[in-house]
């Protein structure tokens, strides 16, 4: 198929009542497994390089890895920078072949977030790249608390920045390992009433699957970021492979045994976001 932008996959999702998964990658093994899962389900996929991934592998290398996978895939693939915190990070990602950048100014005051995000949007659009912004801070399990998105601020943010997608804080939390919570539906509906662009849920691993299905089909939420539950699947598979034979030391052979379990876990995730 081909490398496509975030807008290329989210606008059809918004129109036709489904969502696209933003799958958080840490290395080649997950990236490859996520694309194989998307091919098996016949859906587009967003490969996401977040801060921890970038600590491990430089953006120019990640860009080439994403591009290779996209060019050899049978489904559309988005190469997405997740949680870019500076103009420089976003610039390097764009120059490295990423087709989408997410600028996270959610900790900043509204006016500063709008100004900084707008600057990234202008740079990205000039290069034919999509931009996702965030309004309302999404917290972390056992860490920083969330600050919910104000609907009127969301409307202003969307209008004045020109972002292609907007991440919102509506009860979602990063790094949550269980699905005991649930999103604030009245707040989502209030945001939907005053905005027209695709909405994004970070920390999607903590959202109950039934609610993912409902929102994918019947709301403007068109992108769910999923990382923690797939990291857990990878970790479980790797632990099993290592402990199966303590005399093995070849990492290639060990890592091969993570592939099928991660594909299976990713397929389960992707299935929930399909349209009816």
Task: Show which residues are catalytic.
Answer: 82
| pLDDT at site 177 | 53
| pLDDT at site 214 | 93
Helix (H, G, I), strand (E, B) or coil at 20: strand
Domain of residue 62 covers 3-271
Give yes or no for residue 276 having a pLDDT over 80. Answer: no
User: Rounded mean pLDDT of 109-130?
Assistant: 97
Count of CA atoms in the C-beta half-sphere (13 A) of 61: 9
Does 41 reside within a domain?
yes
Does 276 reside within a domain?
no
Q: What is the DSSP string of the chain?
A: --EE-HHHHHHHHHHHT--EEEEEESSHHHHHHHHHHHHHHT--EEEEE-HHHHHHS-HHHHHHHHHHHHHT-SS-EEEEEEEE-SHHHHHHHHHTT-SEEEE--TTS-HHHHHHHHHHHHHHHHHTT-EEEEEES---BTTSSPP-PPPHHHHHHHHHHH--SEEEE-SS--BT--S------HHHHHHHHHH--SPEEESSGGGS-HHHHHHHHHHSSEEEEEE-HHHHHHHHHHHHHHHHH-TT---HHHHHHTTHHHHHHHHHHHHHTTS--
| CATH assignment at residue 90 | 3.20.20.70
Beta bridge mates, 208: none
Q: What's the pLDDT band for 203 if we cut at 50, 70, 90?
A: confident
Q: What's the pLDDT band for 85 if we cut at 50, 70, 90?
A: very high
| pLDDT at site 37 | 98
User: Rounded mean pLDDT of 42-47?
Assistant: 97
Check residue 25 and report its DSSP letter. Answer: E
Q: Which carries the bigger pLDDT value, residue 23 or residue 136?
A: 23
Q: Which two tokens stand for residue 153?
A: 């601020």
Does 77 reside within a domain?
yes
Does 242 reside within a domain?
yes
- How confident is the prediction for the chain on average, in pLDDT? 92
| pLDDT at site 143 | 60
* Per-residue pLDDT tens digits for 143-191: 655 668 889 999 999 999 999 999 998 876 655 555 566 788 899 999 9
Q: Looking at the 3D structure of the chain, how many domains does it have?
A: 1
Does 243 reside within a domain?
yes
Task: Give CA–CA dist 201/222, Å, rounded.
Answer: 8
């Amino acid at each position: 198929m081909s490398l496509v932008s975030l807008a290329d996959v989210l606008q059809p999702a918004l129109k036709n009542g489904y969502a696209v998964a933003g799958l958080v990658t840490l290395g080649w093994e997950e990236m490859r497994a996520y694309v194989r899962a998307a091919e098996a389900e016949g859906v587009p996929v967003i490969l996401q390089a977040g801060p921890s991934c970038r600590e491990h592998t430089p953006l120019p290398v990640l860009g080439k890895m994403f591009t290779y996978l996209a060019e050899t895939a049978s489904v559309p693939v988005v190469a997405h920078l997740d949680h870019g915190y500076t103009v420089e990070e976003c610039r390097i990602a764009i120059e490295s072949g990423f087709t989408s950048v997410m600028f996270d100014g959610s900790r900043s005051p509204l006016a500063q977030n709008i100004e900084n995000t707008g600057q990234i949007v202008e740079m990205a659009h000039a290069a034919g790249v999509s931009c996702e912004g965030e309004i309302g801070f999404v917290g972390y399990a056992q860490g920083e608390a969330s600050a919910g998105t104000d609907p009127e601020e969301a409307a202003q943010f969307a209008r004045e920045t020109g972002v292609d997608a907007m991440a919102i804080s509506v009860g979602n939390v990063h790094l949550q390992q269980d699905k005991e919570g649930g999103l604030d539906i009245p707040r989502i509906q209030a945001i939907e009433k005053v905005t027209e662009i695709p909405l994004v849920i970070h920390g999607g691993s903590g959202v109950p699957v039934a609610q993912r299905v409902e929102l994918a089909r019947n709301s403007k939420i068109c992108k769910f970021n999923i990382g923690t539950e797939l990291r857990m699947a990878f970790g479980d598979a790797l632990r099993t492979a290592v402990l199966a034979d303590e005399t093995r030391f070849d990492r290639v052979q060990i890592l091969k045994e993570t592939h099928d379990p991660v594909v299976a876990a990713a397929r389960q995730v992707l299935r929930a976001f399909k349209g009816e």
